[in-house]
Amino acid sequence: MKYIELKKDLKVSNIVMGCMRIADKPLAQIEQTVALAFNAGVNMFDLADVYADGEAEKRFGQVMRDLGIDRKEYVLQSKCGIRKDGKGKINRFDFSKKYILKAVENSLSRLGTDYLDVLLLHRPDTLVEPDEVAEAFEKLRKTGKVRTFGVSNFSAMQMQLFQNAGIEIVANQMQFSLGHTAPVDSGFNVNMYKDESVCRAGESMEYCRVHHIAMQSWSPLQYGFFEGPFVGNDKFPKLNAQLNKIAEKYGVSPSTIAVAWVLRHPAFKQVVTGTTSMNHMAEMCDAGDIILTRDEWYSLYAATGRVLP
């Protein structure tokens, strides 16, 4: 397992266990998967208040108490900002100071902890007042309830808006995988009349590299917007053939290679897994130690059907 520094005195694993899907799984299964990840060197766990309407945070807090893992031994990241109507449908984003402070209090209560190591704002709120966010963050920092702050799915200028308000961003969590290559496509096709030249990721990747912000990949094995896994999927024969070929060389699974592909990019310092399977979790952990060659990385990109200019 490899580690990076999100900030001084905050060392985190490059594999992060995502806990979005744990709420409806048996407690024993979650405990086994968390224990496997932790023993393999994973020290960071990702949640959000919106996951199963808070139930995922409750379940995770229970798991860590049952396993007896000391709070100082792991890094806890959660998110807020997505709000729902009375019927459970997402209908707005909210970065108001009042909401952020209340959301953190609720998350801490559900998790059974006194602090978050990282708080991400979840999807941009177009009505945001950056100075108001800065006030909320400063209060959370001073009271020791949140150590560091970041964002999720933010463009370069949306991050700049926060930076101008004096907000330090340590991470930006964004979708990136062999099934979703938008963050790199436009960089290959600058100044061209091609669909790939459209910048869908808002130059977030380049901005994060310039400002030393860690990018975290979510859905590293999915294509589309939660349309399903691409590994072993008959819709992607060329990609799977190349994944299998490289996996055989390294003696690992194709899923491991798919995650290693993400981590090979200098901008993406971490991968957030979405699995609750012990076998898949083990495959993710193996990826942290594999460094693909340049030829291997580009061969996999080509196998997605993307054409370099």
* Within-domain flag for 262: no
* Within-domain flag for 305: no
* Within-domain flag for 163: yes
**Cα separation of 206 and 199, whole Å?**
12
The domain tally of the chain equals: 1
CA nearest neighbour of 284 among 111, 84, 41? 41
**What is this structure's pTM?**
0.95
The tokens for 73 are 């031994």
The pLDDT tens digits for 214-263 are: 999 999 999 988 889 999 999 999 999 999 999 999 999 999 999 999 99
* Within-domain flag for 254: no
End-to-end CA distance of the chain: give it in Å, rounded. Answer: 36
**Cα separation of 269 and 178, whole Å?**
16
* Within-domain flag for 248: no
Q: What is the pLDDT of residue 181?
A: 97
The tokens for 252 are 């690992």
Please list the alpha-helical segments (H only) found in 87-189: 97-111, 130-142, 156-164, 182-188
The dihedral formed by the CA atoms of 89, 94, 99 and 104, expressed in degrees to the nearest 10? 80
**Cα separation of 166 and 129, whole Å?**
13
The tokens for 289 are 């130690």
Q: What is the pLDDT of residue 225?
A: 87
* Within-domain flag for 256: no
**Cα separation of 58 and 62, whole Å?**
6
Rounded to 5 degrees, what are φ and ψ at 91?
-130, 0
| Mean pLDDT score, 290-303 | 98
- CB 49 within 8 Å of CB 90: no
* Within-domain flag for 297: no
- CATH code (residue 40): 3.20.20.100
Note down the domain range covering 119: 8-235+267-291
SS3 content of the chain, % helix, strand, coil (to 5): 40, 20, 35
* Within-domain flag for 243: no
The pLDDT tens digits for 99-145 are: 999 999 999 999 999 999 999 999 999 999 999 999 999 999 999 99
